[in-house]
Amino acid sequence: MDSLGHVNNVVYVDYLQEARVDMLSIHASQTGARQLGDGVVVVRHEVEFLHPLVFRPHPVRIETWVEKVGAASFTLRYEIIDSDVVCCRAATVLAPFVFAEERPRRLTQQERVTLEGFRDDPDPDPEPSAAREPGRGLS
């Protein structure tokens, strides 16, 4: 919490990480893409703060979906939602990584199929300004 009683902006990124770990460690591993749970590195975060989060006893909802899948990276998008108010929109670019060899790697075909299953828009080249329907994606 900051001095105004708002959730600190660094905590938003922690929330995004929790959603990402859930998606990749639990949901992706159930489809045979287990390496995505512990074998990726963050390349970039983009965070847009829209509305402050304040302390309350109920949790926020984080919707997470895949926006783009490349040969050696993929992009996750998120919305942090509190009582139907979007408080934050964010994106994370991730790359698969072989930690034992300290090198990046390409996505496997199974990982690509798994990630495509988490896409919000099955169109491989969506319009950047297209609005996303609320309520879609993982929570």
Is the predicted pLDDT of residue 76 greater than 70, yes or no? Answer: yes
Alpha-carbon span 40 to 105, nearest angstrom = 9
Q: What is the DSSP letter of 124?
A: S
pLDDT at 121: 64
Residue 54's DSSP bridge partners are 6
Task: Convert the pLDDT of each residue in 94-133 to its tens digit.
Answer: 999 999 999 999 999 989 999 998 987 644 444 433 344 4
Q: Assign residue 30 a region (left: φ > 0; alpha: ψ between -120 and 50; beta: otherwise).
A: alpha
Confidence at 27, pLDDT banded by 50, 70, 90:
confident
pLDDT tens by residue, 31-75: 767 778 778 999 999 999 999 998 778 889 999 999 999 999 999
| pTM of the predicted model as reported, rounded to 2 decimal places | 0.80
Check residue 6 and give its pLDDT. 82
pLDDT: which is higher, 59 or 4: 59
DSSP annotation string for 29-93: GGGT-THHHHSEEEEEEEEEE-S--B--SSPPEEEEEEEEE-SS-EEEEEEEEETTEEEEEEEEE
pLDDT at 63: 95
Domains and CATH numbers, the chain: 9-117 (3.10.129.10)
In three-state secondary structure terms, 119 is strand
